């Protein structure tokens, strides 16, 4: 008689099984740590997670979509809420630069942005991610509106794009060691343009 199979993760169909999704994300993190961005592949993740490639592609439509979720899972950037928009935005940027500089996330995100220049799936995944980040950063502007710090008709998402542009330029040019005073000055210029 054959040996009994070890109990494995149970499939729940097209819906994400949290246990399987965690195994895939953990495998993706491990493959990324071992092989780097250039050596990362869905095949390697599938082998390591003991999951089928169709399962991975059902839940993440591209390598970039999976990598963005890995990036988000690892991202630990505090968004300050001090009651002062200038302090909040400068603190956010300093926290973000430190995260990108001090973890592997900066290299991963920089590589995703580069890949998005020539890969439609990566561009779509990055655009989806950026929409969520724009709304997240925009909430800082909305809080400032509610406090009367900025004029009421300011489009918070455009301001969020300005802040993101500053951050991404620093990431893409590997200038993540910008000093606090320079970051505060850049934020001050933006805030002066939207101040009430």
pTM of structure: 0.84
What pLDDT sits at residue 195?
Answer: 87
pLDDT per residue as tens, the chain (196 positions): 444 434 444 444 557 788 899 999 999 999 999 999 999 999 999 999 999 999 999 999 999 999 999 999 999 899 999 999 999 999 999 999 999 999 988 899 999 999 999 999 999 999 999 999 999 999 999 999 999 999 999 999 999 999 999 999 999 999 999 999 999 999 999 999 988 7
Go through the domains of the chain in sequence order and give each one's CATH number: 2-59 (1.10.10.60), 76-192 (1.10.357.10)
What burial class does residue 39 get, using C-beta atoms within 10 Å of its C-beta: 0-12 exposed, 13-18 middle, 19+ buried? exposed
Distances from the Cα of 162 to the Cα of 58, 145, 167, angstroms: 34, 17, 9
Q: Which residues pair with 195 in a beta bridge?
A: 150
Question: Other C-beta atoms within 10 Å of 58: how many?
Answer: 13
């Amino acid at each position: 008689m054959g040996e009994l199979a070890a109990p494995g993760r149970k499939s729940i169909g097209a819906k994400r099984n949290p246990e399987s999704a965690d195994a895939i994300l953990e495998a993706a993190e491990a493959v990324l740590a071992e092989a780097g961005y250039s050596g990362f592949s869905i095949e390697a993740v599938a082998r390591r997670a003991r999951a089928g490639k169709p399962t991975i592609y059902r839940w993440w439509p591209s390598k970039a979509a999976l990598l963005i979720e890995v990036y988000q899972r690892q991202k630990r950037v505090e968004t300050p809420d001090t009651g002062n928009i200038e302090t909040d935005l400068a603190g956010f940027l300093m926290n973000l630069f430190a995260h990108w500089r001090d973890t592997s996330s900066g290299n991963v995100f920089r590589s995703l942005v580069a890949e998005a220049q020539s890969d439609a799936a990566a561009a779509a995944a990055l655009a989806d991610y950026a929409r969520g980040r724009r709304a997240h950063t925009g909430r800082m502007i909305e809080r400032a509106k509610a406090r009367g710090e900025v004029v009421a008709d300011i489009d918070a998402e455009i301001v969020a794009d300005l802040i993101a542009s500053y951050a991404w330029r620093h990431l893409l040019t590997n200038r993540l060691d910008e000093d606090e005073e320079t970051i505060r000055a850049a934020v001050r210029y933006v805030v002066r343009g939207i101040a009430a």
